[in-house]
């Protein structure tokens, strides 16, 4: 008796669960058919499209003031959903433009048939009926490549650069709108070499170009710079007195200073005291007003580095 009652309850529970499942399936299927029916209907809505200019002459560069078309279109719900989430690009014929000296206008109304052919549906109207753009003549000129002043290297201690950096090629062809190219005098390249440098530098460099309207040819160059083993040497340099009036005699304290300079090891036997010149300029004294004045370096070998001297300033005695 008890067993039969348990079996009946189990069967009722199972039947209820099956009914619930069937009801849920019915709701899902009904919603699916309702959604398909609704999305299949046509609707009108504002949609954004990207713009691509076609049939642009080779010697013209177009610079749009804005690059979208805002249009009210009539199409199915499926297509509206697609266009909203995956913006389509429409071709706009440049040959239909009205051109002034450096600007132009394209009427979207006159291109409606061409635009309709590119979408599933049709345009009803446009938020802005005209596309405005600037344009320039396309020119090409040769521009030198130079090292950026902030370039830096991790040169190993005891080594130094010969300051003979160069690019190969040293100039490139730059093409773009005349308004942009006219004021382009050089292309600075930032060279950051993080590895420890023990030998000559030769690296391939990609030229920086963030302007889509400008093209470089070539886009890569070779940067070269000589690196040598350096040594330091000191010299006793007599000061050269300049701009002193004939009526005045001068006595310096001291008359010579100790100068230190680093230069490539290969030149150690070639560098002499005469290759450096330190000067005492009487004009810096303001006719004897100052008791001491700084010494100035007037001559040194091009390959010398880290030049310094002691003392930095010099005292003097005048006799008239």
Question: Where along the chain do its domains lie?
Answer: 42-128, 138-225, 231-319
Closest CA relative to residue 309, chosen from 231, 229, 238, 228: 238
Spatial CB neighbours of 145, under 8 Å, sequence gap ≥ 6:
167, 169, 170, 171, 172, 186, 187, 189, 207, 221
| Token reading at 29 | 């299927």
CA distance 229 to 198: 8
Block residue for tokens 């078309």: 69
Bridge-based pairing of strands 296-299 and 313-319 is unpaired
Q: At what angle do helices 2-40 and 77-85 cross, to 10 degrees?
A: 80
Q: In CATH terms, are 138-225 and 231-319 the same topology?
A: yes
Q: Over its length of 320 residues, how does the chain's per-residue pLDDT go in tens digits?
A: 545 554 555 555 655 556 566 656 655 655 554 445 555 578 888 999 999 999 988 778 788 887 899 989 888 888 888 888 888 999 999 988 988 888 899 999 999 999 999 998 899 999 889 999 888 888 889 999 998 888 887 888 888 888 888 999 999 999 888 878 888 899 999 888 777 787 888 889 999 888 888 889 999 999 998 888 999 999 999 999 999 888 888 888 898 999 999 989 888 888 999 999 999 999 988 888 888 899 999 999 988 889 999 999 999 888 77
CA distance 205 to 224: 10
**Which of the following CATH numbers is that of domain 138-225: 2.170.120.40, 3.40.190.80, 2.30.30.60, 3.30.565.10?**
2.170.120.40
Tell me, what DSSP letter sits at residue 207? P
Contacts 24+ apart (CB under 8 A), 106-113: 106/130, 106/131, 106/133, 108/69, 108/71
pTM of the entire structure?
0.56
Spatial CB neighbours of 258, under 8 Å, sequence gap ≥ 6:
234, 235, 236, 237, 309, 310
Query: Could you say which architecture CATH assigns to the domain 231-319?
Result: Beta Complex (2.170)
Mapped onto helix, strand or coil, the DSSP state of residue 149 is coil
């Amino acid at each position: 008796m008890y067993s039969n009652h348990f079996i009946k309850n189990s069967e009722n529970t199972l039947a209820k669960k099956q009914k619930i499942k069937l009801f849920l399936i019915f709701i899902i299927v009904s919603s699916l058919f309702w959604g398909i029916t609704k999305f299949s209907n046509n609707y009108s809505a504002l949609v954004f499209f990207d713009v691509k200019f076609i049939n642009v002459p080779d010697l013209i560069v177009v610079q749009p003031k804005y690059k979208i078309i805002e249009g009210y279109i009539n199409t199915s719900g499926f297509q509206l959903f697609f266009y909203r989430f995956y913006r389509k690009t429409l071709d706009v014929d440049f040959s239909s433009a009205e051109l002034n000296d450096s600007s132009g206008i394209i009427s979207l109304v006159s291109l409606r048939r061409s635009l309709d052919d590119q979408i599933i549906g049709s345009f009803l109207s446009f938020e802005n009926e005209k596309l405005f753009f600037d344009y320039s003549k396309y020119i090409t000129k040769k521009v030198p490549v130079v090292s950026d002043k902030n370039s830096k290297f991790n040169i190993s201690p005891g080594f130094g650069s010969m300051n003979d950096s160069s690019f190969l090629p040293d100039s490139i062809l730059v093409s773009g709108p005349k308004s942009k190219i006219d004021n382009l005098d050089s292309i600075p390249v930032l060279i950051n070499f993080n590895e420890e440098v023990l030998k000559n530098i030769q690296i391939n460099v990609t030229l920086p170009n963030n302007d889509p309207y400008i093209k470089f040819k070539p886009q890569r160059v070779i940067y070269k710079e000589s690196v040598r083993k350096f040594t330091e040497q000191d010299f006793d340099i007599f000061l050269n007195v300049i701009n002193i009036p004939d009526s005045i005699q001068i006595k310096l304290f001291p008359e010579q200073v100790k100068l230190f300079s680093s230069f490539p090891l290969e030149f150690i036997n070639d560098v002499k005291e005469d290759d450096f010149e330190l000067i005492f300029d009487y004009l810096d004294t303001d006719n004897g007003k100052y008791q001491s004045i700084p010494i100035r370096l007037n001559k040194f070998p091009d390959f010398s580095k880290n030049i310094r001297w002691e003392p930095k300033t010099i005292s003097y005695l005048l006799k008239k």
